[in-house]
Structure 1
Amino acid sequence: MTVLRLPLILLLAGVFGLAGCSVHQPVSLYQLDSGSPAQPAQSAGMAVLLGPVSIADYLQRETLLQRQPDGSLQASTDGRWAGSLSSDINQLLLRQVAGHLDSQRVVLAPATLGFTPDVQVLLSITRLDSGESQPAILDAQWRLIDRRGQVRDNRIVHLQEPHASGTAAQVQAQGILLQRLAEQLSVALKPLANQPPVAEVPRKPAPKPAAPVEPEKPKIPMASPIRTDMEVFRF
């Protein structure tokens, strides 16, 4: 019995050892590279409301996805995002746009009370991914709304960035794509910095209430003396 039990014990120990190695396999955490944006110095620069920024549903997860040659997406086995990818994208764009415009008045939506932007940026990112043999690709669209509520620019953007193989190189390429997007967006924003102030429309005075109409009083005919040809004699 002892001879038969020993191989079984060794087999189980090997199985549990392999399971332990697979469970404790280290997974790398990644964040987007925001580059080296310039620190804005103007406290009274262009006022920009950045957002809402909508992100494709498949990007709203911690899993780092890999684009396959057939176009499908698979979860990475050796890495994931270190937090919210949506939040990383927002912060990267904020710092890059503020640096390009040299303005401290670039804020993320929703705006605080009392903040009146010169321009609002409505941005939609529909694709941001890469693969071992697939380049990093970014698809986005923006609309620029001026202080009068008019659409001043509408643009669809497709950007592509090659990279070396490896997850770290892919994440770096995706960060570069977002930096290029912020640069193009800033170029489109600059001409809208010197908008004329919105003229206030003068308010028309409120109409006065009509005076009540008094009913007309009946006219009484005036008595007039009646003259006759008769003479009155006094004695």
Structure 2
Amino acid sequence: MKFFPLAPMLALLGSLLITGCALQPSPQFYQLDAGQPVLPTLDKGPAVLLGPLKLADYLQRENLLQRESDGSLQLSQEARWAGSLEDDVGQLLVRQLAGRLDSSRVALYPDRVGFVGQWQVVLTIGRLDSGVSQPAVLEAQWRVLDAAGNLRDSRLLRLQAEHDGAVASQVKAQSQLLQQLAGELAATLGKLPVSSPPARATGKSAGQRPASVPKVAPSLPVPQAEVYRF
């Protein structure tokens, strides 16, 4: 039986580990581009509550997904989102809507403390992906509710954008699709007649007299009984 020196073996193992770590590429982090929306100036647009906003389950992950030609999805080992994709989508849409509607009164659900909206947009994004040889595709559905909770508009749409295959170009194309979605939504909201928020209940119905309070007869003094002594 042959015995090999322990020190050279450990040195060789350490060298292999260092080489493996050096060959493994470091992750690259990406973030959606909100563009350069114009800030509200006259601030005369409607008050809009965006949300609930729902992203498809397959998008709720850290790594970027790559769409293959056969329709399958592969996780990228190097490309990752710098934070929550759902939060980035929500913030991008809020900024875009604020600029396009000329309104600083745009809130992202559920952060609506002290906010009274004229419109609420319930938005579901069922697809947002791309691949090296596949275009960026966005599929979404929105429902617009008025201040009373009535459905005023509903739409399904599919948008597509080309790119050069690089991950950075794919992220830019996806960002452009979300900006285009905000433009379509802003155009729809601009065509709808603005409704006023429902009045808060004050205990009295509008146009009705306050209910009369029944009068209570004043209490009469109780006569004192006379005491007779015998």
TM-score range (shorter-chain normalised) is 0.7 to 0.9
Letter in 2 for 1:15: L
Q: How does 1:163-202 map to 2 (within 5 A)?
A: 163-192=163-192, 194-195=194-195, 202=207
Deviations 1:142-181 (A, max 9, x none): 0110123221110001000010011111011000000000
Shift of residue 43, structure 1, vs aligned partner: 4.0
Letter in 2 for 1:20: C
Q: TM-score, normalised by structure 2?
A: 0.79
Shift of residue 111, structure 1, vs aligned partner: 4.9
Q: TM-score, normalised by structure 1?
A: 0.78
Please give the secondary structure, in 2, of the residue aligned with 1:94: helix
Partner of 2:119: 119
Partner of 2:31: 31
Q: How does 1:26-175 map to 2 (within 5 A)?
A: 26-175=26-175
Deviations 1:67-89 (A, max 9, x none): 11111111112210001000000
The alpha-carbon distance between structure 1 residues 205 and 65, as it changes in their structure 2 partners (threshold 3 A), is same
The alpha-carbon distance between structure 1 residues 203 and 149, as it changes in their structure 2 partners (threshold 3 A), is farther
Within 2, Cα distance between the matches of 1:158 and 1:42? 32
Which stretch shifts more, 188-197 or 78-87? 188-197
> Conserved in 2, the CA contact under 8 Å of 1:42 and 1:104?
no
Within 2, Cα distance between the matches of 1:26 and 1:179? 30
**Structure 2: stretches of 5+ with no match in the other structure:** 200-204, 215-230
Letter in 1 for 2:21: G
Within 1, Cα distance between the matches of 2:27 and 2:20? 16
Partner of 2:226: none
Letter in 1 for 2:118: D
> Conserved in 2, the CA contact under 8 Å of 1:46 and 1:193?
no
Deviations 1:105-138 (A, max 9, x none): 1111125344221111010001000000110000
Sequence identity percentage: 49
Partner of 1:223: none
> Conserved in 2, the CA contact under 8 Å of 1:49 and 1:111?
no
The alpha-carbon distance between structure 1 residues 91 and 196, as it changes in their structure 2 partners (threshold 3 A), is closer
Could you say what the CA RMSD is over the residues aligned between the two structures, in angstroms? 2.6
Partner of 1:222: none
Within 2, Cα distance between the matches of 1:171 and 1:197? 38
The alpha-carbon distance between structure 1 residues 9 and 205, as it changes in their structure 2 partners (threshold 3 A), is closer
